[in-house]
Structure 1
Amino acid sequence: MPELRFTLPDGQERRTEVHTLLNAGYAGRSQEDVAAHVAELAELGVPAPSVIPALYPVAPYLASQTDEVPVQHERTSGEAEWAIVITGAEPEDILLTAACDHTDRALEAHGVAWSKNAGPDVLAAKAWRLVDVQDRLDDLTLSAWAGETLIQQGKLAELLPPSYWLDVLRERDLYAPGTVLISGTIPMVHGVDQFADSWRVELGDPATGETIELAYSVRRLPEPIG
């Protein structure tokens, strides 16, 4: 199982071995935003989901803290998301961080769950305790850049909150140390090329000016033989 390490604002470090990794999908609070995301994916040939919101189990080894993502072809891209990471039994052991779900868009047309397992979920190295930002969660900002171009920008108020997903984890007996849940994403800026050679995601707290950021390059693998 992969081990994730996070630095908290007070300098403490938290570690957890990931045994359950989950990707939420179509998780906007606004039906207009969900419809916009469905339309974005439809342009890539992805059929509409049968249930909203969706939740996709992902192989735990795909939880990653990396600055490079190797890919097999040019039609892959990320998504700006937040992640909750359960590191212990107490409320203060739930961490909030930035994440980017790097997805194989060509495979996505054949199955969203398959595509989620074809690329890593990249998480930032810094995190906040969820309890420390709970009272202003909706005001936290989420932004992403594909290459140097801003492709996503919004607030956590646009997505279902962590409390919703924590209830789902409890209902499904998945609330345990080592569980990581990625939030689903906000709409992309129309017309921006998402197939870039790098991705960057930022989770911001306007009340304090603090940010959590991740960034990685996208590296094309050599052509296969055979």
Structure 2
Amino acid sequence: MLSFTRHAGHRADHISFTPETLVIAGWAGRDEAAIQHHIEELAAIGVPPPSSVPVFYRGAAQLLTQAPKVEVLGPDSSGEIEPVIVSLADGLWVTVGSDHTDRKAETVGIALSKQLCVKPLANVLWRLDEVAAHWDELFLRAHAVIGGERVVYQEGKLAALRQPGDLIQRWTGKETLAPATVMFGGTLGAIGGIRPAARFEMELIDPVLHRSISHAYDIADLPVIS
């Protein structure tokens, strides 16, 4: 069960629902050079290139979490900030999330790695219609605490990523998502390379309507026992 505060115009309400479908869009950038950069940074840690661009991975809907702390197996996972589209009975909404991924498992199989870690989400939604006209101006910024130091890990405008309508059309062949579907919309390159952290902080900033959505979570590494 996920719970959100929804903002539409000057109104706000609260909603809880159980997601039924999780889809994660990979290599969803518009800039071919940026896509190649992300492929190369993953290749540097042993991850094979995608079968198509973009590509859509499925994950168990139960992986979605809004907890302030997540547990992962071993020290080889990392966060990945993404815009997230949430389909409810009354339309499409947007928030921010992290496609937290086991990077060691990713060298074996990307779909497998997506399934091994929970996917943190913020607890605030904006109606997609309210930001669609200035979608490209929305800004993602992630900080990570690495070795005790808080650093900027990812940042950039959503102009670097495919728009929601494009991804939805490519995945479903339609203009919308079925209710209770959550779609992660792609990520930006990691500044300084992909690496694990003790804490991941993410923010989606709307400079036009002067608001932001943020979420942070701590990462606890569980021991790997053979």
TM-score higher than 0.5 here?
A: yes
User: In the alignment, which residue of structure 2 is the partner of 1:167?
Assistant: 169
1:12-23 correspondence to structure 2 within 5 Å? 12-23=13-24
Partner AA of 2:179 in structure 1? P
Deviation string, structure 1 residues 31-58 (Cα, Å, up to 9, x no partner): 0110000011001100111211010000
Could you tell me how far 1:169 is from its partner in structure 2?
Answer: 4.4
The unaligned stretches of length 5 or more in structure 2 are none
Q: Which one has the bigger strand percentage?
A: 2
How many residue pairs get aligned? The number is 219
- Is the CA contact (8 Å cut-off) linking 1:15 and 1:87 kept in structure 2? no
> Which whole-Å deviations, capped at 9, do the CAs of 1:175-214 have from their partners, x for residues lacking one?
21110000110111125x6211010110000112211001
Distance, in Å, in 1 between the alignment partners of 2:164 and 2:17 is 19
Partner SS for 1:86: strand
The alignment status of 1:102 with 2:100, answered yes or no, reads: yes
Instruction: Spell out, residue by residue over 1:151-196, the C-alpha distance to the aligned partner (whole angstroms, 9 max, x if none).
Output: 11101110011111222344279821110000110111125x6211
Counterpart amino acid of residue 136 in structure 1: H
Structure 1: 5+ residue stretches without partners:
none
Indicate the percent of aligned positions where both proteins have the same amino acid.
Answer: 36
SS for the counterpart of 1:11 is strand
Residue matched to 1:190: 192
Corresponding letter in the other structure for 2:99: D
TM-score normalized with structure 1 length? 0.92
| TM-score of the two chains, using structure 2 as the length reference | 0.92
Is the contact between residue 74 and residue 224 of structure 2 (CA under 8 Å) also seen in structure 1? no
> Alpha carbon RMSD of aligned pairs, Å?
1.7
Deviation (angstroms), 1:8: 1.7
Q: Secondary structure at the match of 1:213?
A: strand
Q: 1:100: how far off?
A: 0.4
Say whether the 8 Å CA contact 2:74–2:223 is kept in structure 1: no
1:135/1:173 Cα in 2 relative to 1: closer, same or farther (>3 Å)? Answer: closer
- Aligned-pair distance for 1:6? 1.2
1:1-226 superposed matches below 5 A: 3-9=1-7, 10-88=11-89, 90=90, 93-147=91-145, 148-171=150-173, 175-191=177-193, 194-224=195-225
One-letter code aligned to 1:117: Q
Per-residue deviation at 1:121? 1.2
